[in-house]
Amino acid sequence: MNDMTDDVWAEQKPTALLVLADGTVIEGVGLGATGTAVGEVCFNTAITGYQEILTDPSYAGQIITFTFPHIGNIGVNDEDIETVNMASSSGVRGCVLKAPITSPSNWRASRDLDAWLKARGIVGISGIDTRALTALIRDKGMPNAVIAHSPDGVFDLPALKAEAAAWPGLEGMDLVPMVTSAQSFVWDETTWELGKGYGRQTDPKLHVVALDFGVKRNILRLLADAGCKVTVLPATATADEVLALSPDGVFLSNGPGDPAATGVYAVPTIQGVIASGVPTFGICLGHQMLALALGAKTMKMHQGHHGANHPVKDFTTDKVEITSMNHGFAVDRDTLPAGVVETHVSLFDGSNCGIAVEGKPIFSVQYHPEASPGPRDSHYLFTRFMNLIREKKGEPVLPERA
C-alpha cells in the first residue's frame, strides 16, 4: 500500500514508513525524530490543539493519525503542554500527517513543530492519505504498527514487519508507570488568562488529593481554580497514604493503557477511598478504574474515541455537551452493579460516558471536561465535584452552570 499519491511526494524518495502488523507498508516523508517506534495506530479528529494532544499522557503507546490535514501551522509554545513533567515525553510513539509541516504563523509560537518533535523523540511521517488510513481503522480497528524515519531512505523492512507483528498491543498493558509522577507534590497553578498567563491559587478553601495515572495539567489547574489545594500522589499510592492527608475530596486522573492492568494495584486503593466516604471524581482511566472498583468491567473499543467534537448527553440535566475524548477502552454498562447508575452517554455510538453511585458522593466521566471544545460545556463537572465536597462538609453549594 503506497499512499504517496500527491505529485509533491511522488518525486521524493520515501524517508519514513508506517508498517502495520498485517504487513501493509505505507510510505511517506519523515519528520521529527529519526529511528523507529512501535504502538497502536489511532486517529484524532480535532482541528486544533495538536500540541495538547501530543503531550497528553493518555496517548502513551499510541501513534496518532491526525485527520485534519494542516498540523504544525501555528507552531508550538511552552504554555500548551499537558504532561505534568515538561522535561519528559508524554509517551506518544509517533504521529501521522497528511501535509508537510509549514513555518509557524502564530504570535504565541516559540518553535516549529518539527524541531519540537525531534527534541521530544517523537517519530513522524507526512505525505500520507490520512483519510484512507482512518477508513482502514474504522473498518478493521486500531492496528499495531511500527513507524520508522530514516533520512537516507534505507529500511530493514522484514525486521520492521516482524516487530509490528510481534508487538502484543494495549490489551493487558499497564503504561501508567511511564507517565505517573515519581513523587508527591502540591499543585497551585490556575488557568491561563490573556495578558496574564497562568495564575496561582493563594487562598485554597478545600484540599483535594489527585492520584496521578497520567494527569493533564489543565485538570489540575481547574481544581486549583475551584479553590483547592491539590496534592498529587503517584499512581502506586495506597488508600492509607491518600487518607492520611485528610483530603476533602479525591480525584482519579486520566491515563494510558488497559484499566484492568493498572487496576491490579490501583483498584484496591480506590476501593479503600470509596469505603472512607470521601467525595471522589474520576476522569477517563480514573472513570474506568472506578467502575472496576465498584464491580463493573471494561472492554477494548474497536476504534476508540479521539477528538474534540464528541457529543455527550448528561442524563442528570438532559443537556448535550460537545466534549474532548481520548480513550480506547470503555466501561461495559451491562456490568454496572446495582446502585451504580449511568449518567452520561456518547451520542456517536451510545457507549457509556459517565457513572455515579446512588446515595454516595462518587461519580466519573469518560471524557475530558477540562478541555474546551464546546468551548466550556463540561466545566460544570468540577463545580459538581466541589458541591459534593461542600455537602459533605455541610456548606452551601454553588450553581453548576453560571
Give the chain's end-to-end CA distance (angstroms, integer).
52
Q: What does the pLDDT read at residue 87?
A: 53
Q: Cα(289)–Cα(282) distance, rounded to whole angstroms?
A: 8
At residue 242, what are phi and psi to the nearest 5 degrees?
A: -65, -50
In total, the chain counts a number of residues equal to 402
Nearest Cα to 293, choosing from 273, 323, 312, 320? Answer: 273
Domain architecture of the chain: domains with CATH: 7-166 (3.50.30.20), 176-393 (3.40.50.880)
**pLDDT value, residue 11:** 56
Residue-level pLDDT at 7: 47
Reported as a pLDDT band with limits 50, 70 and 90, residue 13 is confident
pLDDT at 336 over 70: yes
Beta bridge partners of 356: 341, 363
34-43 pLDDT, tens digit per residue, is 999 999 999 9
Active site residue 305: no
Looking at per-residue pLDDT, the higher value among 86 and 111 belongs to 111
Q: Which whole number is the average pLDDT over 108-114? A: 96
Given 27, 40, 321, 370, the catalytic residue: 370
Q: Which positions ≥6 away from 378 have C-beta within 8 Å?
A: 312, 321, 323, 365, 367, 368, 369, 370, 371
Least confident interval from 91-100, 196-205, 208-217, 372-381: 372-381
- Mean pLDDT, to the nearest integer, of 332-355? 98
Residue 285 has pLDDT above 90, yes or no: yes
Residue 3 has pLDDT above 70, yes or no: no
pLDDT-derived band at 86, boundaries 50, 70, 90: low
Mean pLDDT over residues 216-245, rounded? 98
Count of alpha carbons within 13 angstroms of residue 203, beta-carbon side: 0
Confidence of residue 5 (pLDDT cuts 50, 70, 90): very low
Provide the pLDDT for residue 2.
45
Q: Tell me, what's the pLDDT at 133?
A: 98
What confidence tens digit (pLDDT) does each residue in 297-323 have? 999 999 999 999 999 999 999 999 999
Choosing from 287, 310, 327, 368, which is the catalytic residue? 368
Residue 88 has pLDDT above 70, yes or no: no
Average pLDDT over residues 112-125: 96
Mark whether 171 is an active-site residue. Answer: no
Checking if the pLDDT of 239 tops 70, the result is: yes
- Poorest-confidence range of 4-8, 15-19, 21-25, 100-104? 4-8
Q: What is the DSSP string of 221-276?
A: HHHHHTTEEEEEEETT--HHHHHTT--SEEEE----S-HHHHHHHHHHHHHHHHHH
Q: Please give the pLDDT value at position 282.
A: 98
As a whole number of angstroms, the distance between CA 278 and CA 243 comes to 9
Sign of CA dihedral 31, 74, 372, 205: positive
284 included as an active-site residue: yes
| Closest C-alpha among 294, 297, 331, 325 to residue 311 | 325
According to the model, what pLDDT value does residue 6 have? Answer: 47
Catalytic residue among 284, 306, 321, 327: 284
- CB count, 10 Å around CB of 299? 16
Omega before 375 within 30 of 0, i.e. cis: yes
115: helix, strand or coil:
helix
Listed residue (290, 62, 273) closest to 178, CA to CA:
62
* Sheet hosting strand 340-346, strand order edge to edge: 185-187, 228-234, 206-212, 249-252, 280-283, 362-365, 352-357, 340-346, 298-314, 319-331
Give the whole-angstrom CA distance, residue 258 versus residue 387: 31
Q: Which residue has the cell 484496591?
A: 268
CA dihedral 185, 94, 107, 377 (to 10 degrees): -70
Question: Would you say residue 80 has pLDDT above 70?
Answer: yes
Cα distances (Å, whole numbers) of residue 144 to 136, 141, 253: 12, 10, 26
Task: State which amino acid sits at residue 369.
Answer: P
